[in-house]
Amino acid sequence: MVRKIIAIVAGLAVAVITVMLVQKLGHHLYPPPEGLHPADEAFMREYIANLPWGPLTIVIGSYVLATLAGGWVAAAVAGERPAVFAGIVALLVLAGAVSTMVMFPHPTWFMVTSVAGIIVAALIAARLASARTGGYGKSV
Protein backbone atom coordinates (compact mmCIF):
# COMPACT_ATOMS: atom_id res chain seq x y z
CA MET A 1 0.00 0.00 0.00
CA VAL A 2 2.84 2.40 0.85
CA ARG A 3 4.46 1.72 -2.52
CA LYS A 4 1.22 2.61 -4.29
CA ILE A 5 0.92 5.91 -2.41
CA ILE A 6 4.55 6.73 -3.13
CA ALA A 7 3.94 5.90 -6.81
CA ILE A 8 1.04 8.34 -7.05
CA VAL A 9 2.87 11.09 -5.13
CA ALA A 10 6.01 10.63 -7.24
CA GLY A 11 4.01 10.63 -10.47
CA LEU A 12 2.12 13.74 -9.45
CA ALA A 13 5.35 15.50 -8.42
CA VAL A 14 6.92 14.72 -11.80
CA ALA A 15 3.76 15.93 -13.54
CA VAL A 16 3.67 19.22 -11.64
CA ILE A 17 7.36 19.87 -12.21
CA THR A 18 6.95 19.08 -15.91
CA VAL A 19 4.03 21.51 -16.27
CA MET A 20 6.02 24.22 -14.50
CA LEU A 21 9.15 23.74 -16.62
CA VAL A 22 7.35 23.54 -19.96
CA GLN A 23 5.18 26.55 -19.17
CA LYS A 24 8.25 28.46 -17.98
CA LEU A 25 9.79 27.76 -21.38
CA GLY A 26 6.56 28.99 -22.94
CA HIS A 27 6.79 32.24 -20.98
CA HIS A 28 10.34 32.63 -22.25
CA LEU A 29 9.26 32.11 -25.87
CA TYR A 30 6.04 34.13 -25.49
CA PRO A 31 6.58 36.61 -22.66
CA PRO A 32 3.41 37.64 -20.84
CA PRO A 33 2.51 41.32 -20.93
CA GLU A 34 3.98 43.74 -18.42
CA GLY A 35 1.90 43.99 -15.28
CA LEU A 36 0.22 40.59 -15.67
CA HIS A 37 -1.80 39.91 -12.51
CA PRO A 38 -3.15 36.34 -12.46
CA ALA A 39 -5.46 37.28 -9.57
CA ASP A 40 -7.23 39.84 -11.79
CA GLU A 41 -9.88 37.57 -13.35
CA ALA A 42 -11.16 40.13 -15.84
CA PHE A 43 -7.65 40.81 -17.12
CA MET A 44 -6.88 37.07 -17.34
CA ARG A 45 -10.09 36.34 -19.25
CA GLU A 46 -9.23 39.02 -21.80
CA TYR A 47 -5.59 37.93 -21.98
CA ILE A 48 -6.43 34.25 -22.59
CA ALA A 49 -9.19 35.09 -25.05
CA ASN A 50 -6.67 36.93 -27.21
CA LEU A 51 -3.71 34.56 -27.00
CA PRO A 52 -2.39 33.30 -30.33
CA TRP A 53 -2.15 29.55 -30.95
CA GLY A 54 1.59 29.35 -30.11
CA PRO A 55 1.42 29.88 -26.35
CA LEU A 56 -1.74 27.77 -26.13
CA THR A 57 -0.04 24.82 -27.83
CA ILE A 58 2.79 25.05 -25.32
CA VAL A 59 0.24 24.78 -22.51
CA ILE A 60 -1.27 21.72 -24.19
CA GLY A 61 2.23 20.30 -24.54
CA SER A 62 2.83 20.85 -20.84
CA TYR A 63 -0.29 18.83 -19.99
CA VAL A 64 0.62 16.03 -22.39
CA LEU A 65 4.26 15.78 -21.32
CA ALA A 66 3.26 15.99 -17.64
CA THR A 67 0.79 13.15 -18.07
CA LEU A 68 3.28 11.06 -20.02
CA ALA A 69 6.17 11.56 -17.58
CA GLY A 70 4.14 11.52 -14.38
CA GLY A 71 1.99 8.62 -15.51
CA TRP A 72 5.03 6.59 -16.46
CA VAL A 73 6.75 7.29 -13.13
CA ALA A 74 3.63 6.36 -11.15
CA ALA A 75 3.10 3.17 -13.13
CA ALA A 76 6.76 2.17 -12.98
CA VAL A 77 7.10 2.82 -9.23
CA ALA A 78 3.86 0.97 -8.48
CA GLY A 79 5.16 -2.04 -10.38
CA GLU A 80 1.65 -3.31 -11.06
CA ARG A 81 -1.49 -2.28 -12.93
CA PRO A 82 0.27 0.41 -14.97
CA ALA A 83 -2.96 1.64 -16.57
CA VAL A 84 -4.47 2.33 -13.16
CA PHE A 85 -1.52 4.36 -11.90
CA ALA A 86 -0.96 6.24 -15.15
CA GLY A 87 -4.72 6.87 -15.18
CA ILE A 88 -4.69 8.32 -11.67
CA VAL A 89 -1.99 10.81 -12.63
CA ALA A 90 -3.88 11.60 -15.84
CA LEU A 91 -7.05 12.29 -13.86
CA LEU A 92 -5.16 14.66 -11.56
CA VAL A 93 -3.58 16.50 -14.52
CA LEU A 94 -6.98 16.60 -16.20
CA ALA A 95 -8.56 18.03 -13.05
CA GLY A 96 -5.99 20.83 -13.02
CA ALA A 97 -6.43 21.53 -16.72
CA VAL A 98 -10.23 21.54 -16.53
CA SER A 99 -10.23 23.79 -13.47
CA THR A 100 -8.17 26.33 -15.42
CA MET A 101 -10.49 26.03 -18.40
CA VAL A 102 -13.52 26.59 -16.18
CA MET A 103 -11.98 29.61 -14.46
CA PHE A 104 -10.88 31.23 -17.69
CA PRO A 105 -12.62 30.52 -21.00
CA HIS A 106 -10.36 28.93 -23.60
CA PRO A 107 -10.94 28.22 -27.28
CA THR A 108 -12.84 25.01 -28.00
CA TRP A 109 -9.93 23.53 -29.98
CA PHE A 110 -7.69 24.04 -26.95
CA MET A 111 -10.08 22.25 -24.58
CA VAL A 112 -10.69 19.31 -26.91
CA THR A 113 -7.01 18.90 -27.74
CA SER A 114 -5.97 19.16 -24.09
CA VAL A 115 -8.39 16.45 -22.96
CA ALA A 116 -7.56 14.16 -25.89
CA GLY A 117 -3.82 14.70 -25.41
CA ILE A 118 -4.00 13.86 -21.70
CA ILE A 119 -5.91 10.64 -22.43
CA VAL A 120 -3.51 9.55 -25.17
CA ALA A 121 -0.48 10.39 -23.00
CA ALA A 122 -1.88 8.29 -20.14
CA LEU A 123 -2.35 5.31 -22.48
CA ILE A 124 1.19 5.67 -23.81
CA ALA A 125 2.62 6.01 -20.28
CA ALA A 126 0.80 2.86 -19.18
CA ARG A 127 2.02 1.00 -22.26
CA LEU A 128 5.63 2.08 -21.70
CA ALA A 129 5.51 1.14 -18.02
CA SER A 130 3.83 -2.15 -18.89
CA ALA A 131 6.65 -2.96 -21.31
CA ARG A 132 9.16 -2.16 -18.55
CA THR A 133 7.44 -4.49 -16.09
CA GLY A 134 6.84 -7.28 -18.58
CA GLY A 135 3.17 -6.36 -18.88
CA TYR A 136 2.10 -8.07 -15.67
CA GLY A 137 3.44 -5.80 -12.98
CA LYS A 138 6.66 -7.61 -12.18
CA SER A 139 9.76 -5.53 -12.78
CA VAL A 140 12.17 -7.01 -15.28
Q: Strand, helix or coil at 32? A: coil
Sequence spans of domains, the chain: 2-132
DSSP-assigned letter for residue 135: T
Rounded Cα distance between 132 and 129, Å, is 5
> pTM for the whole thing?
0.87
Written as tens digits, the pLDDT of the chain (140 aa) is: 898 999 999 999 999 999 999 999 999 999 988 877 778 888 888 888 888 999 999 999 999 999 999 999 999 999 888 899 999 999 999 999 999 999 888 999 999 999 999 999 999 999 998 876 555 455 43
